[in-house]
Amino acid sequence: MPHALPAIKPGAATAKLDYDNASQAGVLHLSGDWRRKSRRPEPGAPALPQAMSSLRFDCADLTGWDSTLLIYLHDLRRDCHSRGLAVAWDTLPAGAGRLLRLASESPATPTSSTPTWSWLSKLGRHSIKTWDGAVEVLGFVGELVLACIKLCFGRARMRWSDMALEMVKAGPQALAIVSLIGFLIGLILAFIGAIPLKWFGAEIYIASLIGIGILRLMGAVMTGVVMAGRTGAAYAAELGSMQVNEEIDALKSMGVPPMEFLVLPRFLALTAMLPLLGLFGNLVGILGGMVVGLYYLDLTYTQFSQQLMETTRLADLFVGLFTCWVFGMLIAICGCLRGIQCGRSSEAVGQATTSAVVSSIICMVIATAAITVVTVALKI
Amino acid sequence: MTLPPPIAVRNLTMAYGSRVIQRDLTFTVRRGEIFIVMGGSGCGKSTLLRHLIGLQAPADGVILRDGQDFWALSDAARDRIKRNSGILYQTGALWSSMTLAENIALPLQQFTRLQPREIRDLCSFKLALVGLAGCEHFYPSEISGGMRKRAALARALALDPEILFFDEPSAGLDPISSRRLDDLIIELRESLSATVVVVTHELASIFAIGTDAIFLDSESKTIIAQGSPKDLLNPAAPPLVRQFLTRGGSAPE
């Protein structure tokens, strides 16, 4: 009794099983073009009659084949094997038979099964991971402090030339973007301030607004955000790629601590450069505000500068620069930490970079809030 | 009608800017052959491969793929030819953010209309073919270098290419793994009737699998010997080639 497989359009690849009840022998007629582009039977091996004891193939009408025939037969082979059926594999086209044999010779490696977790264990694992992360951050900061102490005694394995290079990258090369953003922030701040000030006829106070706003806060924040996106991300990507390429392992195995050799120069360079960049940003920001004061509010240069000098204090500038300095440390720590923690794939480098920028911005906001509260409390 | 050879190179000059790597390369890779490109380190073997697979344009000369001038074709036609070649990169170049199965599935998803189930079966089959059955869900970073190489071979085979390129297939493998890979290359060539181009300087591989070969010389910047590796051992071959093939054993007289 012939077992017909689902009907297939003419001209397409077909597999038809003929089964002879008397001899319990089956013949699988393969015909047509068994290639990707042609129409093929549904995937999955044909159902073989229970009593069948042997199987051979008839490939007289087979015009072409590729891997699609092989996966069809691979399933069949598994079926036949589990039933102990005698199959004449040599009746297949020579190459196909050999490839099937090659594929089935491969010992099956046990697949790594990912266990499913209940919500409680998920919560537990997440908590443990968060805790471990926090410990890791503390450990990193502690190691960094130790490295700094070692540096003071001149025993850190850091090359000053590396630090100089990092300073150039984090300082002069960032001037253009910091000045552009600083100027525009000053401009925007002044425009926004100008609207309510005009209502009260108090245009002159634009100088105070800009002075205090930029010096104390905005200068530092915009420099910090620009540098987090620019340099913090670069640190994470750089160290992350080094982790992927096993360059960090190479340093460790040579007895060169990556903390001193890679992190320390970046940390020092950024903490040194950020206050300077902030100072420059302040200057350009006030310039931006002044442009609005002079050309939009029709103040004179003397009026503006006098008001600025009278209402801003040196303390404002120092609070801003102190904030910059703190930001420099935070950005460097976040960038380097994420880079060092990076996994070993290209995707992990992307994650490290993203996470470096996000965490440094969050840290900066928290730090700003803390500094503001403390300075207000201390009446600085 | 006889089919044109899969690869024919005529007077190819390769250069980076004004620095010429190799000049006047002329050779033909015949169908079904395992063609070896050998030569010392830095002689431009890998650069030649980059030209053949379409990553780099020749400075001068013609590369014919299936009888067509490869670099004069439209982008679409060139892509079609590229899709017909499987490439095994030196370090595997598996996409590290994807599992092995996803790595193999990507070309199938992009360039075929197979059903998801067929793609899954094909991935498992190709992995089984290279001896990695059951490793579908591993990430490249979780497996050994040898396994990564074999997985990369499975990916190169995904689209059933008619021509396979191997860049240093045995680099970084132990002798047994590299022997297994050689056997696999021979087996695949015979079963799939594919053409294979191998860039290597592994002597054992050269003699085990090569049916034809060219030797690139970095001094004269061109091919100094051509023929089956065993023929290149005869006394008529240039001394440099014999020296290379005998690991410096027979010094030039």
Considering only A102-106, A229-233, A315-319, which range has the smallest mean pLDDT? A102-106
**Mutation for B interface: A72, A241, A245, A345, most B CBs within 10 A:** A345
Better pLDDT: B182 or A259: A259
User: Which residue of chain A is at minimal alpha-carbon distance from B188?
Assistant: A99
Is A340 within 8 Å of A243 (Cβ atoms)? yes
Q: Is it the case that residue A337 has pLDDT exceeding 90?
A: yes
A71, B135: Cβ pair inside 8 Å?
A: no
Mean local confidence (pLDDT), A89-110: 75
Minimal CA separation from A114 to chain B, in Å: 10
B141, A343: Cβ pair inside 8 Å?
A: yes
Place A78 in a pLDDT band, splitting at 50, 70 and 90. confident
Instruction: List CB contacts (< 8 A) between A352 and chain B.
Output: none
Minimal CA separation from B223 to chain A, in Å: 34
Place A282 in a pLDDT band, splitting at 50, 70 and 90. very high
User: Which residue of chain B is at minimal alpha-carbon distance from A109?
Assistant: B134
- Using DSSP bridges, classify how beta strands B68-69 and B85-88 pair: parallel, antiparallel or unpaired: unpaired
Q: Is it the case that residue A368 has pLDDT exceeding 50?
A: yes
Instruction: List CB contacts (< 8 A) between A344 and chain B.
Output: 96, 141
Largest CA distance in chain A: 114
Place B243 in a pLDDT band, splitting at 50, 70 and 90. confident
What is the SS3 assignment for B173?
coil
CA distance A263 to A257: 9
CA distance B56 to B67: 19
Q: Is it the case that residue A260 has pLDDT exceeding 60?
A: yes
Better pLDDT: B225 or A366: A366
What residue spans define the domains of chain B? 31-46+77-245
Strand (E) positions, chain B?
7-16, 19-29, 34-39, 60-65, 68-69, 85-88, 163-167, 195-199, 212-217, 222-227
Residue % of chain A over a pLDDT of 70: 93
Reply yes or no on domain B31-46+77-245 having CATH 3.40.50.300: yes
- Using DSSP bridges, classify how beta strands B60-65 and B212-217 pair: parallel, antiparallel or unpaired: unpaired
Query: What are B53-109's pLDDT values in tens digits?
Result: 888 888 888 888 888 888 888 888 888 888 888 888 888 788 888 888 888 888 888
Q: Provide the pLDDT for residue A11.
A: 58
Minimal CA separation from B90 to chain A, in Å: 15
Task: Report the interhelical angle of B100-111 vs B145-156 (nearest 10°).
Answer: 10
Instruction: List CB contacts (< 8 A) between A94 and chain B.
Output: 191
Tokens of A334: 């976040």
Q: Provide the pLDDT for residue A371.
A: 95
Q: Nearest-CA neighbor of A41 among B126, B117, B101, B154? A: B117
B187, A347: Cβ pair inside 8 Å?
A: no
Number of neighbouring beta carbons within 10 Å of residue A134: 10
Place A81 in a pLDDT band, splitting at 50, 70 and 90. confident
Place B16 in a pLDDT band, splitting at 50, 70 and 90. confident
Instruction: List CB contacts (< 8 A) between B127 and chain A.
Output: 106
**Complex-level ipTM:** 0.70
Mean local confidence (pLDDT), A251-268: 91
Q: B99 phi and psi, to 5 degrees?
A: -70, 170
Q: Is it the case that residue A9 has pLDDT exceeding 70?
A: no
User: Which residue of chain B is at minimal alpha-carbon distance from A102?
Assistant: B129
A346, B96: Cβ pair inside 8 Å?
A: yes
User: Which residue of chain B is at minimal alpha-carbon distance from A345?
Assistant: B96
Minimal CA separation from B247 to chain A, in Å: 31
Instruction: List CB contacts (< 8 A) between A68 and chain B.
Output: 114, 118, 122
Q: CA triplet A265, A268, A274: central angle to 5 degrees? A: 130
B191, A98: Cβ pair inside 8 Å?
A: yes
CA distance A66 to A130: 50
Q: Which domains does chain A have, with CATH numbers?
A: 14-105 (3.30.750.24), 135-377 (no CATH)
Mean local confidence (pLDDT), B202-211: 81
Q: Which residues of A touch B (CB under 8 A)?
A: 36, 43, 66-68, 70-71, 74-75, 94-96, 98-99, 102-112, 114, 343-347
CA distance B13 to B240: 22
Query: What are A129-142's pLDDT values in tens digits?
Result: 999 999 999 999 99
SS3 letters across chain A: CCECCCCCCCCCCEEEEEEECCCCEEEEEEEEEECCCCCCCCCCCCCCCCCCCEEEEEEEEEEEECHHHHHHHHHHHHHHHHHCCEEEHHHCCHHHHHHHHHHHHCCCCCCCCCCCCCHHHHHHHHHHHHHHHHHHHHHHHHHHHHHHHHHHCCCCCCCHHHHHHHHHHHCHHHHHHHHHHHHHHHHHHHHHHHHHHHHCCCHHHHHHHHHHHHHHHHHHHHHHHHHHHHHHHHHHHHHHHHHHCCHHHHHHHCCCCHHHHHHHHHHHHHHHHHHHHHHHHHHHHHHHHHHHHHHCCCCCHHHHHHHHHHHCCHHHHHHHHHHHHHHHHHHHHHHHHHHHHCCCCHHHHHHHHHHHHHHHHHHHHHHHHHHHHHHHHCCC
Contacts A–B by Cβ distance under 8 A:
86
Instruction: List CB contacts (< 8 A) between A104 and chain B.
Output: 128
